[in-house]
Structure 1
Amino acid sequence: MRKRFPSFSLSSYGAGWSANRRIAIVASILAVLLAIAGIIALLTGGRDGHPAPDAAAPAPAHSPSSSEPAPKPSSGSGSVPTPPQIAEPVAYAKAAAQMLWSYDTRDTSRDQQLAGMRAWMTTETRYADWASVSGQVPDPVLWSRMADQDQHATAHVTEGHYPSAFKQALADDPSAITEAYIYVVTVNGKQQIAWKKGGGGAEERAVTLAVQCRPNHDCTLAAIAPSVTQ
């Protein structure tokens, strides 16, 4: 019988999180941003789950901790791209999604992956939800097994947009954005995964991101939020 192994997707690895935890992540960002209770309820949809193709690593021994410490700056970032200098929310979210869906265990350690992701985050601790981002990375045991099989992935982003709930919230209270300047953007695309001996597979991806874009500053990533696809 052909074995099936889980693939690594930074945007969906936390699919098993409880609804309460997902709501709390969004509430901590959007409650400050919009002060509109209705949008929180609209952002409680589960993370998109996708059946994993045959991948090159066995099941994880344990899930990553939500209290993942910040990686050491000296660890470098391996193949993780540096954040672009983009001041437009949708464009930055699309670049961030492509980063999240791409990885290469052949030349990037887990610490380097985390360090590279951390560089995309806002430095305003009041709005940064590092746990929602670092929690997407597999635990050290799984990452090591993926590396044993040279597992890597590339991504293609097809589109990005503001969810209807976010647009409606802005229409209801346009001034609310001026406190944190955090925008909610849903991005869709495809992830191509490959490993040793020609193994591989492709999956459709969707992720909703909270990005901070203050006037006259480049955008940064604030959090990964539950999926909103409308």
Structure 2
Amino acid sequence: MQKRFPSVSLSSYRIGWSANKRIAIVAIVVTALLAIAATVAWLSGSNEQGQEHASPSPASSPSSSEAAPKPAAGSGSVLKPPQIAEPVEYAKAAAQMLWSYDSRNTSRDQQLAGMRAWMTEETTYADWASVSGQVPDPVLWSRMADQDQHASASVTEGHFPSAFKAALADDPSAITQAYIYVVTVNGKQQIAWKKGGGGAEERAVTLAVQCRPDHDCSLAAIAPNVTQ
């Protein structure tokens, strides 16, 4: 029987957040529009996080503070960031990227480089650790490649969580400092490997997306699904 290895996705690689970081993320989702610059800056500087994955296959966790490979390394099959200026649509595209991979023709460094291209260039708001932490460690990626494991994804819907919409309604002007929007995306991931192995799983992820006026959106962070 073929052994299934964990997929590159939030629900397969669950992040263990410290109490302080949970508080910071909740602040981003619920009150970010009131103090988003200070909160997200604190978040991006706090890089300690544990990891747990649901597969029975043993593997060590990737470093949460791992530096991104240079873009010159190429990005293999990783989807390219689209030119979209609307936060929900960009978040839906980003979720599809996060749930898709192909270890047959993409190295782990290429996967990371491709994901890094989606990130905001404003380092104050970019939490690269939350994104790079979705990628399995080098040993596990190699095992996935040995099994020709690959995944595609479809998105069913994306929306602003109710707490975010409430905060926006309370103070519409507060978002103009960082223009970071919180979006929850739902979809499905199809996974396949050698000898016809495969399966499908429902996926959900909450993303922080930066969309400044007259600029394309970019990804700021992956957040826990603390609100709907």
1:84-126 per-residue CA deviation (whole Å, 9 max, x = no partner) reads 0000000000000000000000000000000000000000000
Asked if 2 retains the 8 angstrom alpha-carbon contact of 1:208 and 1:225, the reply is: yes
In 2: Cα distance, 1:7 partner to 1:149 partner: 12
Q: CA, structure 1 residues 84+222, in 2 after alignment: closer, same or farther (shift >3 Å)?
A: same
Task: Give SS of 1:87's match.
Answer: coil
Match of 2:218 in 1: 220
Distance 1:50 1:206, change over 3 A: farther
State the partner residue of 2:79: 81
Per the alignment, in what secondary structure is the counterpart of residue 89 of structure 2? helix
1:164 maps to 162
What pairs with 1:29-44 in structure 2 (closer than 5 Å)? 33-35=32-34
Which 5+ residue runs of structure 1 have no aligned equivalent? Answer: 41-48
- Give runs of aligned pairs for residues 105-116 of structure 1, distance below 5 A: 105-116=103-114
User: Does the aligned pair in 2 maintain the 1:36–1:169 contact within 8 Å?
Assistant: no
- Tell me which residue corresponds to 2:121: 123
Question: In the alignment, which residue of structure 1 is the partner of 2:46?
Answer: none
- Secondary structure of the 1:187 match is strand
**Count of aligned pairs between the two proteins:** 214
Counterpart-to-counterpart distance in 2, 1:138 and 1:28: 28
TM-score by length of 1: 0.85
Q: 1:207 aligns with which of 205, 208, 211?
A: 205
Classify the secondary structure of the residue corresponding to 1:95.
helix
TM-score scaled by length of structure 2: 0.85
Identity over aligned pairs, percent: 72
Contact 2:150–2:191 (Cα < 8 Å) also in 1: yes
Partner of 1:7: 6
- Conserved? CA contact 1:159–1:189, under 8 Å: yes
Q: Distance in 2 between matches of 1:165 and 1:86?
A: 24
**What is the alpha-carbon root mean square deviation over aligned residues?**
2.5
Instruction: Give the 5 Å matches for 1:119-158.
Output: 119-158=117-156
Residue 35 of structure 1 aligns with an amino acid whose one-letter code is: L
For the pair 1:91 / 2:89, whether they are aligned, the reply is yes
Partner residue of 1:44? none
Alignment of 1:173-184 (within 5 A): 173-184=171-182
Write the letter of the residue equivalent to 1:163: P
Contact in 2 for aligned 1:106/1:151 (Cα 8 Å): yes
Give me the whole-angstrom Cα distance separating, in 2, the residues matched to 1:79 and 1:108: 6
CA distance in 2, matches of 1:31, 1:71: 33
What is the DSSP-based 3-state SS (H/G/I as helix, E as strand, rest coil) of the residue aligned with 2:148? coil
More strand per residue: 1 or 2? 2
